[in-house]
Structure 1
Amino acid sequence: MIIQLLVYILIYPVIVLISILPFRILYMVSDLLYLLLYYVFDYRKKVVMGNLLIAFPEKSKEELTVIMKKFYSHFLDIFMEMIKTFSISNEEILERFKLTNPEELDAFMGRHKNVLLMSSHYANFEWLFSLNLRVDHHGFAAYKKVKNKYFNNYIVRSRSRFNTTLVPTKEMIAALGENDKKNMSSIYGMLVDQAPKPGKTYHWSNFFGVEVPVITGTEMLSKKYDYAVMYIETTKVKRGFYETKMEVLSENPRDVPDFGITDLFMKKLEAKIRKEPEYYFWTHKRFKYMRSAEAKNKPSQ
């Protein structure tokens, strides 16, 4: 515990200092880190290329290398933007992370007291918190706790500025149930493109021509509580600027066949990635577990 505190005391001032730097300087730092991470340390390059080979078997090695380089540049930009979140004002983040269909969202939120948002590790998922500044419903977001409790508490406090309550992933189901009992008007954001272990998998979905295990908890909650479900699609306009839109996945989830909402989400996510693959987080082993006849002919990681 003392070591955690000492690490926090040493690193916290550095994070604060970096966060108050202008974006122009932040991206200069990002460019330098890119050179180090890509050309010197070879950070997870085998994993990234392995993912790309499976997702885009029709592309040449040269084409995949171009995508990989663009991804690493974006990856470092996101890292710097994440740090900037600690000090950015509400006005600036709303300017840099714009919602393109506010009227549709307002109408949707007017029809539904509780909404589940399905999103992924695409573009700048860190700034999705800012969307809660636009709605009257209180926002809740599932997150993975940081081992250092001092940094964890700092992150939780920082995100609360955006009308968001962070809930550890393992506690989200219980928190949602409690909020439902209190008859709260809430909006829940969840990144659902992570892969569960096969032993804990309820459904396999098609993703880039292979079947992968997918998280079905969001769909399960939507059916249990009859909450409407929306999909968030974010586009990187230029460096430091994003546009996002909300799409309805289901307003009546109990009428949708089991796993239909999850499969639709995966289909939309794949379509977005195919358009601009460099903005997806390829450093995770996206195809660590896969099955189907096609999978046997794909490169393994």
Structure 2
Amino acid sequence: MQLIAYILIYPFLWLISILPFRLLYFVSDIAYVFVYKIFGYRKKTVIPNLKLVFPEKSEKEILELASLFYHHLCDMILESIKSLTISEKELKKRFVATNIDLINNLGVKNKSIIIMCAHYGSWEWIFIIQKSIKHKGYAIYKRLTNKYFDKLVKRIRAKYNTYLITNKQAITTLTESKKKGELTLNGFISDQSPKAHKAYYWNEFMGIKVPMHTGAEILAKKLDMAVVFFRVKRKKRGYYELTFETITENPKDYENYEITDIFFKKVEEQILEAPQYYLWTHKRWKHRNKVPPEFQ
């Protein structure tokens, strides 16, 4: 069944991917009507999330913000599909890193890097930076259920020397890379919720106490990697600007979970600046009523 689904769906995705951007965003506008207005995809998660995080906003303001978010969500979905066929030249024009030298300078210091980022703005096109750096790229991801689409996503990333590995593969893969003397750039999307009973650490995110992923910080300390935050801004439709911010070159100098706290503060700054670009469809605050006594 997985192969049949792939055979049926892939040609449709490919045809969308070859559309010029003007038509691509026309399709996105149509998708918005169906996703938000007709089917209400995850509205029962998005609206409560927005009300929880922004209790001071009126009902009208919440709905306006939700509408802006769904427009952006549809754009991101179509942009992800565009990754199938977009040229390197076009990608470099649309996803610009303002200070790539920060990464290369860490390479000169023989430092591998953990990039901590959030589900904010756009993260799908970041792999283009591999064309401007010497580090070998790894991205931590959750394997897709359909193995054929999983291979497709890996193949797209591999075109730009970025390799997808799962959480379970991360420690082994990156430890081996360190033993070989390889410089690696390792992307972690660290803002979503771990399972409450498996969380080592809880703290406030947007004013609400929740469990936090700490794997990126733990791995950085274990392998002595620099930690860098990936801040992205949407300049206009289809154009993004990426800026790197060093959190630390020496993670072992920090107390446990201090790096994680710094990361979440930076994510909050982005959200407060332009909340419509955060991924509100995830149940990020679902465990807020399960705070263990030691973290209350």
Distance change (3 Å), C-alpha of 1:291 and 1:210? farther
**Greater CA deviation, 224-233 or 165-174?**
165-174
Counterpart in the other structure of 2:220: 222
1:91 and 2:84 equivalent? no
The answer to whether the 8 A contact 1:211-1:292 is kept is: no
Secondary structure of 2:149's counterpart equals helix
Deviation at 1:286, TM superposition (A): 1.4
Deviation at 1:109, TM superposition (A): 2.9
Q: How does 1:183-194 map to 2 (within 5 A)?
A: 183-194=181-192
Counterpart in the other structure of 1:252: 250
Residues 267-290 of structure 1: per-residue CA shift (max 9 Å, x gap): 010111011000000001111111
Rounded to whole Å, the distance in 2 between the matches of 1:155 and 1:210 is: 34
**Percentage of identical aligned residues:** 43
Counterpart in the other structure of 2:269: 271
When normalised by structure 1's length, the TM-score is: 0.94
Rounded to whole Å, the distance in 2 between the matches of 1:50 and 1:183 is: 48
Counterpart in the other structure of 1:70: 68
Runs of 4+ in 1 over 3 A off after TM superposition: none
Rounded to whole Å, the distance in 1 between the matches of 2:45 and 2:200 is: 26
2:33 to 29, 32, 35: 35
Distance change (3 Å), C-alpha of 1:167 and 1:266? same
Counterpart in the other structure of 1:297: none
Rounded to whole Å, the distance in 2 between the matches of 1:235 and 1:151 is: 29
Distance change (3 Å), C-alpha of 1:111 and 1:291? farther
**Greater CA deviation, 241-250 or 97-106?**
97-106
2:80 to 75, 79, 82: 82
Deviation at 1:292, TM superposition (A): 9.1
Rounded to whole Å, the distance in 2 between the matches of 1:79 and 1:269 is: 21
Counterpart in the other structure of 1:45: 43
Secondary structure of 2:34's counterpart equals helix
Secondary structure of 2:143's counterpart equals coil
Counterpart in the other structure of 1:141: 139
Rounded to whole Å, the distance in 2 between the matches of 1:287 and 1:115 is: 29
**Greater CA deviation, 171-180 or 30-39?**
171-180
**Greater CA deviation, 46-55 or 283-292?**
283-292
Rounded to whole Å, the distance in 1 between the matches of 2:163 and 2:101 is: 24
Counterpart in the other structure of 1:234: 232
Rounded to whole Å, the distance in 2 between the matches of 1:292 and 1:54 is: 16
RMSD of Structure 2 on Structure 1 (CA)? 1.3
Whichever residue aligns with residue 230 of structure 2, its letter is I
Rounded to whole Å, the distance in 2 between the matches of 1:83 and 1:164 is: 18
**Which consecutive unaligned segments of at least 5 residues does structure 2 have?**
292-296
Count matched residues: 291
Distance change (3 Å), C-alpha of 1:41 and 1:127? same
Residues 30-74 of structure 1: per-residue CA shift (max 9 Å, x gap): 000101111111111121011111111111111111110000000
When normalised by structure 2's length, the TM-score is: 0.95
Q: How does 1:105-184 map to 2 (within 5 A)?
A: 105-184=103-182
**Greater CA deviation, 233-242 or 57-66?**
57-66
Rounded to whole Å, the distance in 2 between the matches of 1:225 and 1:41 is: 46
Residues 126-148 of structure 1: per-residue CA shift (max 9 Å, x gap): 11111222111110001111111
**Which consecutive unaligned segments of at least 5 residues does structure 1 have?**
294-301
Rounded to whole Å, the distance in 2 between the matches of 1:168 and 1:221 is: 14
Whichever residue aligns with residue 128 of structure 2, its letter is S
Whichever residue aligns with residue 224 of structure 2, its letter is D
Residues 236-271 of structure 1: per-residue CA shift (max 9 Å, x gap): 000000001000111110000110000000001011
Deviation at 1:291, TM superposition (A): 4.8
